[in-house]
Amino acid sequence: MSDLRSDLNAAPSERTDVLRNAVGATCHRLQNNYFSTPSSREYHVARASLAQMRRNASIDIKRNPLGLATALFEMGGDFDTKLAGKGDEPSPSERAAYTALTLFAVHMQSATSPVHVPSVSFATACGRLHALGISDSIKPRIDAMLLAGSESSRIAHIRSLIALLRTNDLGFDYGLLARDLRGLANPKTKSGIQLRWGRDFAHGYFAGTKSGHSDTVPDGAAHAESASSGSATTGAS
């Protein structure tokens, strides 16, 4: 059973806010440094960090203590003091952050444009991918991901979709992904996240077909409403 002691010291909304902000800020920093001057120290440090996290992407956190240490070191700050576990098991927030950051590293491989796009949900980006009409398998993949019976299966589906998003230069908010992954791991909040992802997928698809281009833009009022409800929904553990 995951170590909840530190994770539960914070109020539900505070936990999800700290998790989202920590992962989002980390992705923003690494992304900015990755796209900085190639001769700079920041560029080389970011490339090395992303390469290390990318190697961790297919390894479960419980079998990869060094991978967890890398993720925690990259985030630090409020995450370390409020959400890091205290025992021999990863906390729910540690698991969600580790997964989101390693997937971000995969998405960033050979990237030529930002992949961490604030305020755009993963499901919305997938909807825009579906709107491109590049494959009939996108919707079935989304359905399989939403209905996955285990966390490992769900992450495998997410990873395959991220590979397609990378190919088509579509990004999303990795802080939001971490928050939602935490909620999906909780039986009490899983169905609410699944419902919101289904809604966001449809929103992204119709926005993509209307705009006639693949640029991923913030979801606006519709996303703000779902994010607000998501904070309350995913907070409980």
Please state, in angstroms and rounded to a whole number, the distance separating the CA atoms of residues 142 and 123: 8
Neighbours of 5 (CB within 10 A): 11
C-alpha closest to that of 111 among 67, 168, 26: 168
Tell me what percent of the residues of the chain surpass a pLDDT of 90.
Answer: 65
- Tell me which CATH code domain 12-235 carries: 1.10.520.40
Q: Please give the Cα distance from 92 to 7 (Å, whole number).
A: 7
Which has more confidence, 91 or 11? 91
Do 74 and 49 form a contact (C-beta atoms < 8 A)? yes
H or E element that contains 28:
helix 12-34
Instruction: Report the helix count and the strand count for the chain, using DSSP H and E.
Output: 11, 0
Element (H, E) at 110: none
Kindly state the average pLDDT of the residues 54-71.
89
Q: CA angle 100-106-109, nearest 5°? A: 140
The Cα–Cα gap between 173 and 185 comes to 19
pLDDT digits (tens, 9 = 90+) for 112-142: 999 999 999 999 999 999 999 998 899 999 9
pLDDT reading at 104 higher than 80: yes
pLDDT band at 212 (very low <50, low <70, confident <90, very high): low
Nearest to 17 by CA among 79, 68, 70: 79
Average pLDDT for residues 50-62, to the nearest whole number?
91
Confidence of residue 174 (pLDDT cuts 50, 70, 90): very high
Cα 49 to chain centroid distance, Å, stands at: 17
109-113: long-range contacts (C-beta < 8 A, 24 or more apart)?
A: 109/50, 109/54, 109/166, 111/34, 111/166, 112/169, 113/169, 113/171
Average of per-residue pLDDT across 180-190: 94
Q: In the chain, where are the structural domains located?
A: 12-235
- Confidence band for 235, pLDDT divided at 50, 70 and 90: very low
Mean pLDDT check: name the lowest of 107-111, 190-194, 202-206, 217-221.
217-221
Nearest one of 94, 74, 71 to 82, comparing CA atoms: 94
Radius of gyration for the alpha carbons in the chain, expressed in angstroms and rounded? 17
| pTM to 2 decimal places | 0.83
Q: Which of 133-147, 151-165, 221-235 has the lowest mean pLDDT?
A: 221-235
Cα–Cα distance for residue pair 209/199, rounded to 1 Å: 16
- What span, in angstroms and rounded, lies between the C-alpha atoms of 73 and 128? 33
Cα–Cα dist 229/223, whole Å: 10
Give the mean pLDDT of the chain: 85
User: Which is more confidently placed, 112 or 216?
Assistant: 112
Judge whether 70 and 52 are in contact, CB under 8 Å. yes
